[in-house]
Amino acid sequence: MILRILISTVLMFAHGATLMSCAFAQNDQKTAMDYISKSVKERDERLLDEIRKDESVQTKMDEKSVQEYLSKEPVKVDPLDIKARPISKENAVNASIVNYHNTGNIEPIIADNGLILYPYGLSEPTVVCSPLRICHIELEEGEEIIDTNPGDTQRWWFGYTFVGQGEHIQPHVLVKPLVEENIETNLSISTNKRLYYIILKSVAEGKYTKRIGFFYPQNINQKSMTLDDMKSKLYQYQDRENQKKTNAIPFSKLNFDYTIKGDKNSKWYPRNVYDNGNKVHIEMSPEVKAYEIPIFMLIGKDNQYEVVNYRYNDSYYLVDRLFEKGVLFLTLSKKKEDKIIIINNKWGKSDER
């Protein structure tokens, strides 16, 4: 009997201790959750303050950039029968869009590097090419080309290339007339976002259009931010804070054993070439952005050029595979091709390659 009483007493104390422990645990959990909620709230309030400050600064910058944009008179662009405002600053496109929403007026823009930007849906984009010269039609980052329909496939050549990586890949449609005549046709490009209609002309002599692109005034809403806008912006700031840098590949694992052959005084002579065992990186001078970007291809059997997937972004070519020989080239005239040869000296010396 006494033994039963002792056992019951012990069990009661144990149960009481368990209840007290659970109570303490629940109290600690509530305290922790309150702390986390407070921390998240304080962080979000701080981020919202940053957003408001950024928006205020951006508004003042927009006003100033519009004044600078309008201070430059439109100039006639040869050989196109258009007038465009010359720009030298990245915010000029935004200034043009802000001015359009304020006044309803908009013109094409010509950049320092010769790129002509048309306002999508508010102009008739025209490309004037020259025989045996490639012209680039640059679409928006992230657009996916679904189909292209040229009016003349007998006397014109069409191709594609892509610049950038990940979500920032920008598609380029390449155009080249094949005959030395003054000819004209049209081209429609359908993407996952919009439909482009472009006039193509070819001139046997004189200036030609190296690159055209677009900017998109209809996509920008100049009204004040709504609550949904603020939430979306907040998520962007949170992602920016939480983003972690990826681990870099050890330097010892990189292969720098490449030979570069060509004119070292060329504006687009590579600074460096290396690979990580899977992809090849070709580092260019930052000044190359101001000039026409050369095309990269592989050199295969019998010295024939072969197409390879690559992207160009922020002064780097990223080639999606290893190779023995590659070439960067531009067709400067009918009889001259400026090129840089890149040779992988370790090709065939390792089972991994």
State the pLDDT confidence band at 323, using cuts at 50, 70 and 90.
Answer: very high
Q: Render pLDDT for 235-263 as a digit per residue (tens, 0 to 9).
A: 555 555 544 333 455 667 789 999 999 98
Q: Write the burial class of residue 148 (CB in 10 Å: 0-12 exposed, 13-18 middle, 19+ buried).
A: middle
- State the average pLDDT over residues 179-206: 90
State the Cα–Cα distance between residues 114 and 229, nearest whole angstrom.
Answer: 35
**Amino acid 1: pLDDT:** 47
d(CA 78, CA 258): 41
Tens of pLDDT, residue by residue over 272-298, are 999 988 899 999 888 777 777 888 999
H or E element that contains 201: strand 195-202
Q: Please give the pLDDT value at position 38.
A: 57
What is the structure's pLDDT at 194?
92
Task: Let me know: does 339 contact 326? Beta carbons within 8 Å.
Answer: no
- With bands split at pLDDT 50, 70 and 90, how would you rate the model's confidence at 341? very high
**Percent of the chain residues topping a pLDDT of 70:** 61
pLDDT value of residue 15? 47
- pLDDT: is 46 or 5 the higher one? 46
Q: How far apart are CA 284 and CA 136, in angstroms?
A: 20
Would you say how long the chain is, in residues?
A: 353
Range of lowest pLDDT (6-10, 124-128, 289-293, 319-323): 6-10
- 96 vs 107: CA distance, rounded Å: 8
The rounded mean pLDDT for the chain is: 75
Query: What's residue 34's pLDDT?
Result: 57
Residue 352 has pLDDT above 80, yes or no: no
Cα Rg for the chain, rounded, in angstroms? Answer: 30
DSSP structure class, residue 336: -
On the question of pLDDT at 227 being above 90, the answer is no
The neighbour count for residue 63, using CB atoms within 10 Å, is 11
Average pLDDT over residues 267-273: 90
Backbone CA torsion sign across 161, 77, 109, 82: negative
**pLDDT, average across residues 120-131:** 90
